[in-house]
Amino acid sequence: MASSSTNSPCAACKFLRRKCQPECVFAPYFPPDQPQKFANVHKVFGASNVTKLLNELHPSQREDAVNSLAYEADMRLRDPVYGCVGVISLLQHQLRQLQIDLSCAKSELSKYQSLGILAATHQSLGINLLAGAADGTATAVRDHYHHHQFFPREQMFGGLDVPAGNNYDGGILAIGQITQFQQPRAAAGDDGRRTVDPS
Amino acid sequence: MSREREGFGEYYETVKKIKKDPAFETTTDHAVMGIRRHVAVPPGTTLNTVTPCAACKLLRRRCAEECPFSPYFSPHEPHKFAAVHKVFGASNVSKMLLEVGESQRGDAANSLVYEANLRLRDPIYGCMGAISALQHHIQSLQSELTTVRTEILRHKYQEATTITSLQNNFNSTTTTSSVSCDQHALASAILLPPPPPPPPTPRPPRLLSSQPAPPPTPPVSLPSPSMVVSSSSSSNSSATNSMYNPPPSSTAGYSNSLSSDNNVHYFD
């Protein structure tokens, strides 16, 4: 009797004004210092319903169950119309909006990625042209170099479309072109002489 | 105990109200004798009474006009009230509905049904479990959206950089062409006889030594075109340096010019 009277009842038994038995199902989860927690749960779910619910669970699961019941009871008392279902509805709305935004962003990204593929194709073709030049023999390389020399001149002449053959028929223009052809060989010769001098 | 008695009394009264019929005679006798039997009332025999709502049907009591449940728990959806009855209890549901304004009781009843079903489906976490799952899903999608948007910005930056680079290459090509043409003219005036071509071996180190300064953005150069370009640049080294500051290797500069030509014509 003495020991029994000295035991503090749990918040549930205190609220319900009854003796707190050693096997009380509420005691581990509703300590005396949290009376509001049980009051909320009791008001929304009812003590008998909570007892049944807890008895159906494995003891290791009861703490989580009590905490979720307390949360739902608190939300229900804050918002008597929607309770925690209002929170769920809000989250579902946010989720739907995010899915729309993500779909739009992925669509935009796919456009850039397809453009990237085209750009890569261009670069690849360019590299192939240069590689072809590199693979040729020395003579072929020189010819290739001569061929490229026509492009800058065409640009300087304002995109002149006259064929190369016609260029040789022109008097002054033809002389200039012939001189241009001889220039690389002369440069090469000069370079050779400089190389021989040190040795 | 008292509830059980009330239930029994209600049941007995219900039986008494039914018109006496030979089919129900035995049932009536059992009720009078105290044996508890729940016999389903066949359709048609309730013509004399108002159809009770799902709540009163489950609770086996008279459904009065002022019943707080009847507008929200149709007899055609008995499972709805069954759920809230098990989770919240009828008296608690009644109190909660009466605390809310009449115009919002429909929403309140529906939310209680939804919450009760979640609790029955997941007795441990209930609504909290659904909320937690939704929050995780939202967090995951938000992270993915951030990643995709970052990728989009990266592509936009690359696009802007490419456009600027193309413009620079075009300008550089024009300038290089002009300078190159002038240099070629000078060289042709000075060096007219065509000597034989020398061996290519000693050219690379000479080029490297002649061009010590590093460039901010060295263009890509290829070996074979470099050899041809190097001979030309060697003969014009002084003029080239005085006219403009090329990258450390004239070879690279010429290679860039060739690339620019290719790019310009190709895109045209």
Q: Determine whether the interchain pair A109/B151 forms a contact, defined as Cβ–Cβ distance below 8 Å.
A: yes
Using CA atoms, how far apart are residues B144 and B138, in angstroms rounded to an integer? 10
Using CA atoms, how far apart are residues A152 and B173, in angstroms rounded to an integer? 8
| Ordered per-residue pLDDT tens for chain B, 268 residues | 333 333 444 454 455 545 443 443 343 333 343 443 444 555 544 443 567 899 998 887 778 877 888 899 989 889 889 999 889 999 999 989 998 898 989 999 999 999 999 999 899 999 989 999 999 899 899 899 999 999 899 888 888 988 888 878 777 766 544 443 333 344 444 444 544 554 544 444 434 433 344 444 344 333 333 333 333 333 333 333 334 333 343 333 333 333 333 333 333 2
Tokens of A165: 């053959």
Greatest C-alpha distance within chain B: 139
Cβ pair B145, A90 in contact under 8 A: no
Per-residue confidence (pLDDT) for residue B116, from 0 to 100 = 96
pLDDT tens by residue, A44-67: 999 999 998 899 898 999 999 999
Cβ pair B14, B49 in contact under 8 A: no
* Alpha-carbon dihedral sign for residues B179, B184, B189, B195: positive
CA distance B90 to chain A (A): 10
Asked whether residue A129 carries a pLDDT value surpassing 70, the answer given is: no
Using CA atoms, how far apart are residues A80 and A73, in angstroms rounded to an integer? 10
Split at pLDDT 50, 70, 90, the class of A182 is very low
Contacts of A133 in chain B (CB under 8 A): 222, 224-225
User: CA dihedral defined by A145, A151, A156, A158, rounded to 10 degrees?
Assistant: 160
Query: What Rg do the C-alpha atoms of chain B give, in angstroms?
Result: 48
Q: Determine whether the interchain pair A105/B119 forms a contact, defined as Cβ–Cβ distance below 8 Å.
A: no
Nearest CB to B222 within list A134, A142, A191: A134
Q: Which residue of A has its CA nearest to B126?
A: A68
Residue B107 contacts by C-beta under 8 Å, 6 or more apart in sequence?
A81, A82
Cβ pair B80, B73 in contact under 8 A: yes
Q: What angle is formed at CA A170 by the lines to CA A164 and CA A175, rounded to 5 degrees?
A: 90
Between the two ends of chain B, the Cα-to-Cα distance in Å is 97
CA distance B181 to chain A (A): 8
Nearest CB to B96 within list A48, A80, A193: A80
Tokens of B15: 């039986």
What's at B99, amino acid-wise?
E
CA distance A114 to chain B (A): 11
Per-residue confidence (pLDDT) for residue B49, from 0 to 100 = 52
Cβ pair B256, B159 in contact under 8 A: no
Nearest CB to A101 within list B111, B130, B145: B145
Q: Determine whether the interchain pair A84/B115 forms a contact, defined as Cβ–Cβ distance below 8 Å.
A: yes
Per-residue confidence (pLDDT) for residue B172, from 0 to 100 = 74
Asked whether residue A134 carries a pLDDT value surpassing 80, the answer given is: no
HSE value, Cβ hemisphere, 13 Å, CA-based, for A131: 6
- Listing DSSP states for B105-127 in one string gives HHHHHHHHHHHHHHHHH-TTTHH
* Alpha-carbon dihedral sign for residues A18, A24, A25, A30: positive
Q: Where are the alpha helices (DSSP H) in chain A?
A: 2-6, 11-16, 35-45, 47-55, 59-78, 84-135, 138-156, 164-169, 171-196
Q: Which residue of A has its CA nearest to B134?
A: A91
Q: Determine whether the interchain pair B130/A180 forms a contact, defined as Cβ–Cβ distance below 8 Å.
A: no
For chain A, give every domain's residue range: 11-78, 80-117, 149-182
Contacts of A105 in chain B (CB under 8 A): 145, 148-149, 152
Asked whether residue A29 carries a pLDDT value surpassing 70, the answer given is: yes
Per-residue confidence (pLDDT) for residue B144, from 0 to 100 = 92
CA distance B179 to chain A (A): 10
Asked whether residue A79 carries a pLDDT value surpassing 50, the answer given is: yes
Nearest CB to A108 within list B86, B152, B229: B152
Q: Which residue of A has its CA nearest to B236?
A: A187
Contacts of A53 in chain B (CB under 8 A): 87, 119, 123
Other C-beta atoms lying within 10 Å of the C-beta of residue B251: 27
Per-residue confidence (pLDDT) for residue B27, from 0 to 100 = 38
Q: Determine whether the interchain pair B181/A153 forms a contact, defined as Cβ–Cβ distance below 8 Å.
A: yes
Asked whether residue A15 carries a pLDDT value surpassing 70, the answer given is: yes
CB pairs A-B closer than 8 Å: 238
Per-residue confidence (pLDDT) for residue B79, from 0 to 100 = 82
**DSSP type of residue A58:** -
Contacts of A182 in chain B (CB under 8 A): 188, 192, 194
Per-residue confidence (pLDDT) for residue A122, from 0 to 100 = 66
Query: What Rg do the C-alpha atoms of chain A give, in angstroms?
Result: 45
Helix axes B126-190, A84-135, angle to 10 degrees: 20
